[in-house]
Homo-oligomer: A and B are copies of this chain.
Amino acid sequence: MFDFFRVLSVDKARERLFGAWKIASPGCDRVGLQEALGRVLAQDVISQDYVPPYSRSTVDGYAVMAKDTFGATQSLPAILQIVMDVPMGEIPTASLLPGQAARIPTGGALPQGADACVMIEHTETLDQHTVLLEKPVSPGENVVLRGEDISKHEALVESGRVLRPQDIGGLAALGVTEVAVWRKPKVAIVSTGDEIVPPWTQPALGQIRDINSYAIAAMARDFGAEPSIMGIAEDTYEDVRNLVEESLALADFVVLSGGSSVGTRDVAVRVLADLGPPGVLVHGVAVRPGKPVILAVCCGKPVFGLPGHPVSAMVAFQLFGKPAIEALHHGKIPEQFIDARLSRNISSASGRQDHIRVSLREQDGITWADPVLGKSGLIATMVKADGEIVIPTEKEGLMAGSLVRVRVF
């Protein structure tokens, strides 16, 4: 029996971490529009202009006074006098009077006096100077008014926004070609364990390749951080301490991965305690997989001791590394969820949060979540999975057929 009563809940563990960590913001970069995608905005962007800067037609046709068209039908059309052509890219100099119309292209500027446009498809020209309108338009119809898209002094996007394509389009509309974004948080990743060798070597008997450095670095990158893989420390106090100190000097926080054995864990705990204050804050969290996680703050920066099994390490980094990155760059990292039906019963011990890998399958218009079988240490179960469901602490399992929210990864 696992003893999940000596360990902290995920929420309590996070509380303890963020209570002990005085977050220093990593500062800003200024980037151009083409580098801004996915970065976290570090300023509010306030419009200095009206967008559009003039009232524009959204159709090819005629600019009119809407009231001249009221009651027009195919059998009783309104008859207007064509007094001008609006040239594209210029403001018409003359004004429109009652009973008059101006030929206008899509995007053309409305002349003074006009308040709507009629699509060319709903008109007939009698001669060069006379047009028949077969449908009424209301004021503002087929027109984007000056400032209707974005008004002057309007806050278009706020600090903390993870910039999407349309946000970048909005910035271009305002003439903002460079923005302040939070610098990418730096994460240093250290692997520990005498049996761990780099992926490019052939493991000798009893050795195994380093998976976690690469999987965790990719997660960090995915979350908008800048990872550095620091290498593999031997299971000695000196080696671990040296690499952690080096990491603390260059990163915003440090991830120690591997070292699930008591010996390795003890080395990590001693190093982190000595490097404090406050040192180790949490040792063990009521989550499966991921239980033997260590949370520490050393020299003012978080250090996470992740379990050695790749899946546990990834679950723990999702739970603690992601909010640390969010706190540093002040932006919420978007997550992807889908609702699905569970295909099998799952049991879960009360008192711990369970993370269950699932693959997704569409059948008869229903999205099914199939739990992925296999021991929780196996990276292949993550490769085969499309996402995970989380069984909260207070639940003892889920019945087949239940509606579950799957975090897609």
Contacts and interface: CB of A to CB of B under 8 A. Distances in A.
Nearest to A176: B199
Given A53-B208, A308-B106, A199 B215 contact: no
Contacts of A314: 165-166, 169
What is the copy number of this chain in the assembly? 2
Interface stretch (A64-72, A83-91, A297-305): A83-91
Most buried by B among A56, A150, A173, A202: A173
A13 interface: no
A408 B164 CA distance: 11
Nearest to A221: B37
A186 interface: no
A15 to B, nearest CB: 22
Contacts of A167: 383
A212 B170 CA distance: 10
Contacts of A23: none
Contacts of A168: 214-215, 218
Contacts of A210: 172
B106 A261 contact: yes
Contacts of A157: 383
B218 A156 contact: no
Nearest to A385: B166
Interface in A18-45: 33-34, 36-38
A255 interface: no
Contact of A378 (B148, B193, B334): B148
A222 B168 CA distance: 12
Interface string A321-345: 0000000000000101111000000
Contacts of A58: 309, 375, 377
A146 B43 CA distance: 53
Given A33-B214, A89-B194, A60 B261 contact: yes
Interface string A129-149: 000000000000000100011
A165 B218 contact: yes
A251 interface: no
Contacts of A339: 338-339
A73 B409 CA distance: 42
A347 interface: no
Given A173-B211, A209-B172, A263-B105, A382 B166 contact: yes
A200 to B, nearest CB: 5
A337 to B, nearest CB: 6
Contacts of A378: 144, 148-149
A378 to B, nearest CB: 4
A380 B262 contact: no
A372 B289 CA distance: 41
A34 to B, nearest CB: 6
B106 A172 contact: no
A324 B355 CA distance: 37
A107 interface: yes
B121 A218 contact: no
B260 A106 contact: yes
Contact of A214 (B108, B172, B309, B310): B172
Given A175-B202, A207-B53, A107 B193 contact: yes
23 contacts: A3-B121, A33-B199, A34-B218, A34-B229, A37-B218, A37-B222, A60-B261, A105-B263, A107-B193, A107-B195, A108-B261, A149-B377, A149-B378, A150-B380, A156-B380, A166-B310, A169-B211, A170-B379, A170-B382, A172-B210, A173-B199, A173-B209, A173-B310
Q: Which 10 A-B pairs have the closest CB atoms?
A: A169-B215, A165-B218, A105-B261, A166-B382, A91-B205, A89-B195, A106-B261, A89-B194, A172-B199, A172-B214
